[in-house]
Structure 1
């Protein structure tokens, strides 16, 4: 996953970033709200970890600004402010979860993973695309370079999931949970089989491959 950590305490920020990187994640770390807002707006992240008490722009204002601009990246507030009212303020500002300091890194990691597994809010746009590939969610028609592509329901759901997260790596676990509603590893190659079938229809007849495999990480669709 690609994660954004906005934390002004150097020791805490370094500790979080180091631990998440050791788990294999890509982590961007910034130490103030203004830079955090810029980074969150410019980049594509799976989850944000946001401190409440930030210089330049505080965490609540940062989240309200992002949500007002349409940014729906899941966000975990991390703060020493732990009263019920503080948690309510954080959630009302647009946070998806709330963890108070001091915290156990294992719990932080688990909460980040849980946020990443949550289905993203359905976008208002009814047409998804990548390069010359287009998916109309209303007519459920898929075309590439003007040619109609017939997909089975599960293939359509898999392609839709990838298109909604264009450019972002989706792990096997993410795909199992989002497309098959399976929260455990069934020890089958169902994901690989459907990716192969999807490639045969979406990529093989054309010059450019859109569905990419990142060995040891997962899959993504990108033009």
Structure 2
């Protein structure tokens, strides 16, 4: 292995899976699994530097693997590798918590480059906001947990938290947050939905509800 790390490869194709494993093994330590259940078992109990996840698995969608890992606050970078290449497919993958998306057929040099990018230590992560025991980096779209490390956020989750973090003592109405973060035509309930998403990925106390007024930044332990 030369300059790589540990990769969990989730691919059920009996021909492609071993080929990808063997090619990546020139630079990475690769563990190959073929089902959603085995992927979750591996990722929850062993340490990996990056995940490569196929979508069409025999026991479910590979995006469910990413979704479940983020629910358990496992922030290992994930690249979704799939034949589903429509824009809506890529968007759904990234919104689920994946960090990158590569469509089949693909070039192995590009796959290796993307894995290196996902595991590379960033030179400058930009400003950080300390929220209780958590650290939020809006430029990197991540929050860092005092318990389990890096948690990836979607663009909208990050933008919403950035508005609250910029003025931590201010109570924002739902209307103000809707206007500041979301596209014209979105409903007020969208704000509540994304507050729920952020709380689910982090802690409920990260965002405080001010009854009858709206939301403000919280004070999690």
- Asked if 1:65 corresponds to 2:68, the answer is yes
- 2-side partners of 1:56 and 1:26: how far apart? 25
Residue 85 of structure 1 corresponds to 88
Residue 41 of structure 2 corresponds to 38
- 2-side partners of 1:72 and 1:49: how far apart? 14
Post-superposition offset of 1:124: 2.5
What does residue range 14-163 of structure 1 map to in structure 2 within 5 Å?
Answer: 14-23=18-27, 25-119=28-122, 121=142, 123-125=144-146
Residue 4 of structure 1 corresponds to 8
Tell me the C-alpha RMSD between the 2 structures: 2.0
Q: Which runs of 5+ in 2 are unaligned?
A: 123-139, 150-221
Contact 1:34 1:57 (8 Å CA) reproduced: no
Q: Which runs of 5+ in 1 are unaligned?
A: 129-223
Post-superposition offset of 1:118: 4.9
- 1-side partners of 2:86 and 2:110: how far apart? 19
- 1-side partners of 2:94 and 2:121: how far apart? 16
Deviation beyond 2 Å, 4+ runs, structure 1:
118-124
Deviations 1:158-190 (A, max 9, x none): xxxxxxxxxxxxxxxxxxxxxxxxxxxxxxxxx
- 1-side partners of 2:14 and 2:115: how far apart? 20
CA 1:65/1:113 → structure 2, altered by over 3 Å: closer, same or farther?
Answer: same
TM-score, structure 2 as length reference = 0.54
TM-score, structure 1 as length reference = 0.54
Post-superposition offset of 1:122: 5.1
Residue 162 of structure 2 corresponds to none
CA 1:125/1:2 → structure 2, altered by over 3 Å: closer, same or farther?
Answer: same
Moved more, 91-100 or 51-60: 51-60
Contact 1:33 1:59 (8 Å CA) reproduced: yes
- Asked if 1:13 corresponds to 2:17, the answer is yes
Post-superposition offset of 1:11: 1.4
